[in-house]
């Protein structure tokens, strides 16, 4: 399945696209997500080597506006016509990246060659916070592209198909972005697994298994330990899994951790939730440390924070835990009902390890 529209009847009658001057504005807002079961390692065209599961966030999002106008009959339909603005400024670097992405889609989505595109994108979180924005930005862009197709070709009228295609396209831009197209769904999964009906490597799906109340409104406080760009890109990190001696064991572990997590989410079992979520974070970083070449993605502040969280949990029995993405920042996860205690703890004990005392309050989207 590549969601190709080359056989689309509207499209075959290119007159519809060339004679009729169409223009419009499409906007989409997509949330960031934090993986509890990590996607790390891929094959083929952006296909994951194991299933992943993430919380959808609320406050960290990207908003993208796409301004389109159909090209004149005389203009080439084999090239992408694009201008890109990020946070109000023309951004050549991002424009290049998006152009490359759109060019890669052109053979299966030829309507992209029939329009002039102006894209304006902005994040709700500061660019200097060291938070990866590829998930939310690629998801917002993919949703805009699906609306563009709907507008030009009269396709994707079915909502499920619309979101599946958006997730499919977002995945081609950045794997974790596949999980960011469903803004009002608390949990999303991506990747084929026996444990989730209709799961797919090609697109992410909303998580439809039972979720206990305690996990419905989980809080995620993102501690900014480092605002610097990561020492290794995700792309390079995934590639290092190919020769990692522990990769097969890792992929099996992801499946068994997912099974445990599914049960914990249903039962409201915070103990197993913590065991699985922290294990996933440690394993991700351990894999990087034993890659060739090795990478240490934690900073000393990251380790200090982790130790403080574990000690606080032991002393108070509050089910607070952490997860990490492929960098030094720490996502602190806790149930809403312990919000006050946890924020106090973060302010007093963890904030000193944050870069310029910065952290972002977020929560699972609903
Ligand atoms: C550690 O989605 O950023 O955050 O597909 O190469 O763009 P690309 O990688 P990316 O990898 C995310 C890795 C992770 C885990 C996760 O989000 O599942």
Phi/psi for 365 (5° steps) reads -75, 150
Would the pLDDT of 15 be above 70? no
Structure letter (DSSP) for residue 194: T
Tens of pLDDT, residues 215-240 = 989 999 999 999 887 778 888 999 99
Percent of the chain scoring above 90 in pLDDT: 88
For residue 246, give every residue at least 6 positions away whose Cβ sits within 8 Å of its Cβ, in sequence order, or none. Answer: 287, 290
- What residue owns the CA closest to ligand 1's atom 14? 325
Would the pLDDT of 363 be above 70? yes
Choice from 57, 176, 237 to test ligand 1 binding pocket (greatest atom count within 8 A of CB)? 176
Tokens of 94: 């991002």
What is residue 131's predicted lDDT score, i.e. its pLDDT? 72
Would the pLDDT of 127 be above 90? no
Q: How far is the CA of 40 from the centre of ligand 1 (A)?
A: 7
Tens of pLDDT, residues 45-97 = 999 999 999 999 999 999 999 999 999 999 999 999 999 999 999 999 999 99
Q: For the whole model, what pTM was predicted? A: 0.96
CA distances from 344 to 324, 336, 348 (A): 21, 14, 6
Question: With contact defined as beta carbons under 8 Å apart, do 115 and 152 qualify?
Answer: yes
Side-chain-side CA neighbours of 223 within 13 Å: the count stands at: 31
Question: With contact defined as beta carbons under 8 Å apart, do 276 and 318 qualify?
Answer: no
Q: Return mean pLDDT, the chain.
A: 94
- Number of the ligand 1 atom closest to the C-alpha atom of 33: 17
């Amino acid at each position: 399945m590549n969601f190709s529209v080359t056989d689309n009847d509207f499209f075959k009658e290119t007159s519809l696209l060339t004679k009729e001057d169409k223009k419009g504005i499409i906007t989409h807002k997509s949330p960031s997500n934090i993986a509890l079961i990590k996607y790390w390692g891929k094959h083929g065209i952006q296909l994951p080597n194991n299933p992943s599961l993430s919380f959808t966030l609320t406050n960290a999002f990207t908003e993208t506006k796409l301004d389109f106008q159909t090209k004149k009959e005389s203009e080439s339909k084999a090239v992408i016509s694009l201008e890109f603005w990020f946070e109000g400024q023309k951004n050549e670097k991002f424009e290049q990246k998006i152009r490359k992405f759109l060019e890669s889609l052109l053979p299966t989505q030829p309507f992209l060659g029939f329009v002039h595109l102006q894209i304006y994108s902005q994040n709700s979180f500061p660019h200097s916070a060291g938070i990866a924005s590829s998930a939310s930005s690629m998801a917002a862009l993919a949703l805009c592209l699906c609306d563009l197709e709907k507008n030009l070709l009269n396709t994707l009228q079915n909502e499920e198909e619309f979101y599946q295609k958006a997730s499919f396209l977002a995945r081609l831009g950045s794997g974790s972005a596949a999980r960011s197209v469903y803004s009002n769904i608390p949990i999303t999964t991506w990747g084929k697994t026996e444990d989730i009906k209709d799961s797919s490597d090609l697109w992410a799906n909303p998580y439809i298994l039972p979720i206990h109340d305690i996990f419905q409104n989980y809080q995620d406080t993102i501690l900014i330990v480092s605002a610097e760009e990561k020492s290794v890109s995700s792309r390079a990190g995934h590639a290092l899994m190919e020769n990692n001696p522990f990769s097969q064991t890792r992929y099996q572990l992801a499946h068994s951790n997912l099974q445990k997590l599914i049960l914990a989410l249903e039962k409201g079992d915070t103990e197993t939730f913590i065991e699985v979520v922290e294990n996933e974070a440690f394993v991700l970083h351990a894999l990087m440390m034993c890659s060739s070449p090795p990478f240490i993605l934690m900073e000393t502040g990251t380790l200090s924070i982790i130790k403080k969280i574990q000690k606080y949990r032991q002393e108070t029995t509050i089910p607070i835990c952490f997860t990490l993405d492929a960098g030094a920042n720490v996502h602190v996860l806790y149930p809403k009902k312990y919000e006050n205690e946890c924020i106090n703890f973060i302010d007093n004990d963890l904030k000193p390890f944050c870069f310029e005392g910065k952290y972002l309050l977020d929560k699972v989207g609903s």
